[in-house]
Structure 1
Amino acid sequence: MEESMEEEEGGSYEAMMDDQNHNNWEAAVEGFRQPPPPPPSIPAPARETPGGQLLAMPAVSVDRKGPKEGLPMGPPPPPPEANGVIMMLKSGDAASVAKAAPAPTPGSTININTSTSKFLMNVITIEDYKSTYWPKLDGAIDQLLTQSPGDYIPISYEQIYSCVYKCVCQQHSEQMYSDLIKKITNHLERVSKELQASPPDLYIERFNIALGQYMGALQSIVPLFIYMNKFYIETKLNRDLKDDLIKLFTEHVAEKHIYSLMPLLLEAQSTPFQVTPSTMANIVKGLYTLRPEWVQMAPTLFSKFIPNILPRAVESELSEYAAQDQKLQRELIQNGFTRGDQSRKRAGDELTYNSSSACASSRGYR
């Protein structure tokens, strides 16, 4: 059995030898004593012939149970060529190594073009942005700007947030910021025209609605565009999105109506409860947020809703403060507001605003 295997393997070697080195190779093989070849389950070790050539045995299947006893162990053979021909290399000959190296098969190579095309498939072009992504943002902004406070809007905040994130990653921040400013500017110009057409008795209330609606919308719009704000507005423009949007309302609405609105607010202040206190507070605080310098137009009005507007009270002006309080009480009584049930009030508990009566009242409580 072993003799037949030697003859078959010797014949395969001779068939694959180069014609130019045929005689030298045969002489070298005859002068070199090789051990009996291992069974097919063990890979045959490579041997170096006296002529300095490397002989690689054909690759055979390996028995996973391990070699049998008595058989020699050796290093694994070099990989065969793609066509199954045994490689015969000269040691130290780099040219022959490169020539004998197997060519990569099409299935084993990495298709760079394919991976690049897959990446390019996720690219958002400017046409994709205008036709697909911005229309989604435009519709959501419309609903947020026109909703009433407390209303539920059937939009997917997750979808809008993801839309903004993808556009920022694809370098569309500048275009998106420009579209957002233009969108909100057009909305505020329409609001300003509607306020101009309002009658005086509804002017204050409608301004309050427009201001509250816009400030409420910013609480949703700014978080949705947080990625654009962080990676474009703050980084490249050195600004903040919320400040920019508040400035838009100041320029396109408040500045155009402040000189019509302030006289109506002062008139409403002189007539108690002509405008509800909540409406007055919202407007005055809103105007102060938009532009604090407007305090100078009516310091007394702003001081009623915002602390530390007027200078600190001094003792020399206490009588003046008392006179203002008395005037307010008389105005309330003239407009039909009573002081409530006074039957349970003790004698001497009436509020007075001069020092002597105040001292007498304080002595009466002792």
Structure 2
Amino acid sequence: MKLEVMNVITVEDYRTIYWPKLDKALEKLLVQSPRDYIPISYEQIYSCVYKCVCQQHSERMHSDLIAKISLHLNNLSEELQGCSEETYVENFGAAMVRYMGALHSIVPLFIYMNKVYMENKLNRDLKEELVALYSNLVAAKHINRLLPRLLEAQAVPFAIPPSTMASIVKGLYSLRPEWAHCAPHLFAKFIPNLLPPVLEDHVQQYALLDQHLQQDLLINGFGRGDQSRKRSGDDIITDTRLFMTYIFQMLPILLNLHLPPSLFLMHNMSTILI
């Protein structure tokens, strides 16, 4: 049986032939939308990585990979800093989803380098390292601007799509759980069992808060209304938005009390339906 002998890959070969192929593939993967199809030969890219590792270019390739992604993330951070207040939160959310989606393709392509070089010699994991890069170069630089925007948005239902809000908060928590301490009630809406159980002597306080919130709704015209006339569509929409604001305010309390939100809704929905 004839064995295939792998040609020697010099440093020059790596720089001029192999890394440019990897660099081009990374460029495409980092900017793709999660639903986009990128015409990349994964077999060819994996083969390049495999050959470079076998030819002792792992350290160089790892360094180039980290430099490439760091440059991309620094540029991304600058782009986000230039976003208007109206588009900032949604752009941040889209950027985080896009990057994490790209990792689902990038990490498998470099899996051989990860196994042979990073895990065995560096005692590190490639995916964890690339996620940490995003945390340090993007999220940490924007957390002081991002959290106040999220807190403002939660007081206005649907100011930010719920899916976007959930994606961002869960993403931030996965990057650094300690960020939840900066806005515990915001994170508690999306992270189960984040807040400690409520003490018995606090229950009365929450009951008073519930009463106060319902009084606020009545003062603002969110009441049972005139049952003798048919309500217009605009009235229903306005009342629904106000009711959802109320629910958003009460949700952290429900989570703390370990009460099913469905029971709370049943108790209060008569206000909006009547």
TM above 0.5, yes or no, is yes
* Residue 272 (structure 1) aligned to one of 132, 143, 157: 157
Matched length: 226
Alignment of 1:307-326 (within 5 A): 307-322=192-207
Residue 220 of structure 1: aligned partner? 105
Structure 1 residue 306: Cα displacement: 0.4
Matching residue of 1:351? 267
The one of the two structures with greater contact order (alpha-carbon pairs below 8 A, sep at least 6) is 2
2:251 matched to which residue of 1?
none
Deviation string 1:302-327 (CA, Å, 9 cap, x unpaired) is 00000111002344333444455563
Query: For residues 96 and 102 of structure 2, what CA distance do their matches in structure 1 show?
Result: 10
Equivalent residue for 1:160, pick from 42, 45, 57: 45
Within-5 A mapping of 1:1-366: 119=5, 122-322=7-207, 327=213, 330=217, 336-338=238-240, 351=267
Distance (Å, rounded) in 2 between the aligned partners of 1:332 and 1:219:
50
The amino acid that maps onto 2:189 is K
When normalised by structure 2's length, the TM-score is 0.76
Q: 1:278 to 1:122 in 2, by over 3 A?
A: same
Q: Deviations over 1:188-228 (max 9, x none)?
A: 01101111100111110010011000000001101110000
The runs of at least 4 consecutive aligned structure 1 residues that moved more than 6 Å come to none
Larger radius of gyration: 1
Q: Distance in 2 between matches of 1:161 and 1:263?
A: 43
In 2, the alpha carbon distance for the partners of 1:141 and 1:332 equals 55
CA distance in 2, matches of 1:332, 1:197: 40
Q: CA deviation at 1:351?
A: 2.6
**Counterpart code for 2:156:** T
Q: Say whether the 8 Å CA contact 1:272–1:332 is kept in structure 2.
A: no
Q: In percent, how many aligned pairs have the same letter?
A: 60
d(CA) in 2 for partners of 1:219, 1:351: 44
- What amino acid sits opposite 2:267 in the alignment? L
TM-score (norm 1): 0.58
What displacement does 1:157 show? 0.7
Unaligned runs of 5+ in 1: 1-114, 340-348, 353-366
Give the Cα–Cα distance (whole angstroms) in 2 for the partners of residues 252 and 298 of structure 1. Answer: 21
Q: Could you give the per-residue CA deviations for residues 103-161 of structure 1, whole angstroms, max 9, x where no partner exists? A: xxxxxxxxxxxx9xx95x71111111111111111011111100011110000111111
CA distance in 1, matches of 2:49, 2:208: 59
SS at match of 1:204: helix
